[in-house]
Structure formats: C-alpha cells, structure tokens
Copies of this chain bind each other. A is one copy, B any other.
Amino acid sequence: MWQLYQFPLCPFSRKVRLLLGEKGIGYEPVRESPWLRRDEFLDLNPTGQVPVMVDTDRGVALIDSTVICEFFEETVDKAAMLNGTAVDRAEIRRLVVWFDSNFFRDITAPLLEERMIKRLVHRTAPDARALRDAMKAAVGHLDYIDYLLDHRTWLAGPTMSLADLAAAAQISIADYLGGIDWKSHEQAKRWYVGMKSRPSFRPLLSERMDGIPPPSDYDKLDD
C-alpha cells in the first residue's frame, strides 16, 4: 500500500492526489508539515519537501511531485494524463512546469507564506502588500488560462491532461487562501468548476487546515 506524505494546503501533493484519484490508485495519506524539518522525514527526503510516496512493502520511495506523476504515468495505463505525440506531451509538460514554477512562485508560495506560515510558525500578521501582489499576479495567470481556453477544450489540447491537474491544484490552494477573484474570467471559472466537480477533486475540497478557514464559496460547485 502506498503512503503519501503531504499536508492539506500543499499544491504539489494535490496535483499527485488528483492523478492518483483519476487513475483509481489507493493510498494512505500521512500528514507531514515540512516547515517542522522532522529528522525522520529528512532522512527519507533530503530536500525536506512533500509530496513523497512510500511503498513500505517494496522498499520504494518516490520523491518530488513531477517524479511521482511520471512514475504513475509509466506504470498505470488508466486515465493517461500525458497523451498524444511527443510534441503534444512536450506541451503538456511545459504547462505543468509553468504552473508548478511560475504560478507557484508568483501566487501560491506568497499566499502560503503570508496566510499559513506566518500564522502557524511566526505568529505574525500577513503583509498586505505581498498579498496584493499575489492577487494581482493571479489576474495575469487567469488571463493566460482564458487565452489557452480560447483555442483549446482543455489547457494543453483536446483532452484533459496533467496540465489541467497541475493548474487546478495550484488554483485550489490560491482560492482556499482568498487569492483568486474570478471576475471577468468566465472561461477560466467554467473550466475550474468542471475540475472541482470531478470525483478526484471532491475529497480535497472537504479538507481544512486548522485555524485557516477558506472563503464560503471555496468548495461550492456552482460558484
């Protein structure tokens, strides 16, 4: 049985959980708070980051969300999320990198720092300017999603792919932390409501981080 080390507001763990959900792969979630830098976890993964997946029966540890996704794409045919030709797959992977790196750096990471780490670790108030910058960056990223959906049914092409899972994972955390304003982004919103309504997504939406409540429309399917 696979164990998945993660915490509820980790966007990279969510990307992996969406993939596992779509593929119907069972796993036991193990709560890990990487900011505590727990020795046993650092022995498992020297970077100290989640997600990590461990199969204790086989003595296998998979480290890093991209590594985990490539592993299950290679080993489980069901619900392939890297579809098409090598060029199609390059476009899917490009967008995964875009959301994992740029969206995370500009939006999810500062929101997590200001609204989660400062509350849980430093016990200080969030910086209003950093929050404003993140929300402004989110508008630009939603514009880009609108642009992609002008030309395509899903973010990377005609079928749902890992790009949609990576994007929805980042957006769901930004949305939980109050960083997303859907105004004037009807196309992106319609796509995201479609993602939220998938069975793979429902368990994530019901989870809460202690002391950090999401906005009231966060888990609503019609909003």
Contact = CB atoms under 8 A, between A and B. Distances in A.
Interface of A: 46-47, 60, 62-64, 66-68, 70-71, 74-75, 86-87, 89-90, 93-94, 97-98, 101-102, 144
A101 B48 CA distance: 13
Q: How many copies altogether?
A: 2
Contact of A102 (B47, B89, B90): B47
Contacts of A62: 90, 94
A67 B47 contact: no
A74 B93 contact: no
A53 to B, nearest CB: 10
Contact of A93 (B70, B75, B93, B144): B70
A97 B60 contact: no
A90 B71 contact: yes
Q: Is the interface of A mostly helix, strand, loop or mixed?
A: helix
Contact of A71 (B47, B67, B68, B86): B86
Contacts of A94: 62-64, 67
Given A86-B75, A90-B67, A93-B64, A98 B47 contact: yes
Query: Which of A90, A102, A144 counts the most B-chain CB atoms under 10 A from its CB?
Result: A90
Given A63-B97, A70-B93, A75-B86, 17 more contacts: A46-B98, A46-B144, A47-B98, A47-B102, A60-B87, A62-B94, A63-B94, A64-B93, A64-B94, A66-B66, A66-B93, A67-B90, A70-B90, A71-B86, A71-B87, A71-B89, A71-B90
